[in-house]
Amino acid sequence: MFENPSVFVLLILIPGMVIFYGWREHRRVVTLRRVGDSVLMARLTDGVNQKRRRLKFALWLVTLIGVIIALGRPVFGVEAEIVETRGIAILVVLDVSNSMDAQDLQPSRIERAKLAIRDLMQGARGNQFGLVLFAGDAFVQFPLTSDVDTAMRFVDAASSGSISRQGTAIEDALRLALNTLDPRITSSSVIVLMSDGENHEGDPLAAAQLAAEQGVTIHVIGYGTPEGDVIPIIDRDGNVAGFRTDQAQNLVRTRLDEAILMAIAEATGGTYQRATDSGIELINLQNTIAGLETELLSTRFQTRNAQRFGILIALALITLTLEMLLSERNR
């Protein structure tokens, strides 16, 4: 098996070189015969060992063949190695309630949050990521994994339609996130809560206190503005089909509730930041996570095809050295 078989086209040079060598030897003999008496010329060239001449050419030819085959990068057999994965566990808790469709952040609160999650995963590869979605209920979109590419496809699929029961069950979501973290894998874990904090249910501070007791830090990013915005109704094609109204047919306006989000972060020693157009909050979060001490997340055996071109290069060097040391003349 070869990784670069196209290089073998160079092997067509070998027959041509053999033919050229034979033609050159024939021309040498003919030329010597033309110069003078054949017996005299035989005595004059008696010091040249013809077998060694042919052997030197054969060694040079073997060297060239070895180099060409080595360029084809031959692989056979397998090599086993131990691969260690070091990092931290990062569990993102994403609000997918209807209010996250508000567009006081462009293109919308939820789309900005999803973009931030993608950037966080891309910028912190090597760590493990998980995702919990919540509105009136909470569920694990995907558990902790180091497969970032697959995880990002699940992030793209998240929307305000992911959970039918509306609300902002922050407490349930945080408790679910804590249950999803596995201290047997790593004790270095953080939760990243992304929400507008509005109309929260239960007691989020109780969940935050539990996280603090377990040594888990919660970093919070708030999406929206204190002034707020109306809530669009998104159809199946992703277009705005109208705006949400209350029972009196008045437009519902959603506002960022920073007080509860700040309190959650403060209770665990985490940071709170409001999402901005510049995205500086994500850079700050990435820097904070990068400063955390990593731990051994997993150890696994990995096998791969063993490249053997080194053997051929060594053979080529040996034959080339012999060719250079071998004299054509008799002592």
User: Do residue 23 and residue 168 come from a single domain?
Assistant: no
Is residue 11 in a domain?
yes
User: Do residue 55 and residue 94 come from a single domain?
Assistant: no
User: Do residue 292 and residue 320 come from a single domain?
Assistant: no
Is residue 187 in a domain?
yes
- Give the count of beta carbons closer than 10 Å to the beta carbon of residue 252: 14
Question: What global pTM score does this model have?
Answer: 0.64
User: Do residue 137 and residue 257 come from a single domain?
Assistant: yes
Mean pLDDT in runs of 10 for the chain (331 residues)?
Answer: 82 86 78 63 61 82 87 73 65 94 92 95 85 94 90 92 87 94 72 90 92 93 93 80 81 91 95 93 90 56 68 85 77 59
3-state SS, the chain, equals CECCHHHHHHHHHHHHHHHHHHHHHHHHHHHHHHHCCHHHHHHHCCCECHHHHHHHHHHHHHHHHHHHHHHCCEEEEEEEEEEEEEECEEEEEEECCHHHHCCCCCCCHHHHHHHHHHHHHHHCECEEEEEEEECCCEEEEEEEECCHHHHHHHHHHCCCCCCCCCCECHHHHHHHHHHHCCCCCCCCEEEEEEECCCCECCCHHHHHHHHHHCCCEEEEEECCCCCCEECEEECCCCCEEEECECCCCCECEECCCHHHHHHHHHHHCCCEEECCCCCHHHHHHHHHHHCCCCEEEEEEEEEEEEECHHHHHHHHHHHHHHHHHCCCECC
**Residue 216: its pLDDT value, please?**
92
Is residue 22 in a domain?
yes
Number of folded domains in the chain? 2
User: Do residue 32 and residue 112 come from a single domain?
Assistant: no
**Residue 262: its pLDDT value, please?**
96
User: Do residue 61 and residue 92 come from a single domain?
Assistant: no
User: Do residue 320 and residue 249 come from a single domain?
Assistant: no
Cα–Cα distance, 94 to 176 (Å, whole number): 12
**Residue 280: its pLDDT value, please?**
93
User: Do residue 104 and residue 214 come from a single domain?
Assistant: yes
Domain membership of residue 11 as a residue range: 5-74+308-325
User: Do residue 149 and residue 54 come from a single domain?
Assistant: no
**Residue 135: its pLDDT value, please?**
92
Is residue 79 in a domain?
no
User: Do residue 277 and residue 313 come from a single domain?
Assistant: no
**Residue 71: its pLDDT value, please?**
86
User: Do residue 156 and residue 199 come from a single domain?
Assistant: yes
**Residue 171: its pLDDT value, please?**
94
**Residue 292: its pLDDT value, please?**
77
Q: What is the CATH number of the domain that holds 122?
A: 3.40.50.410
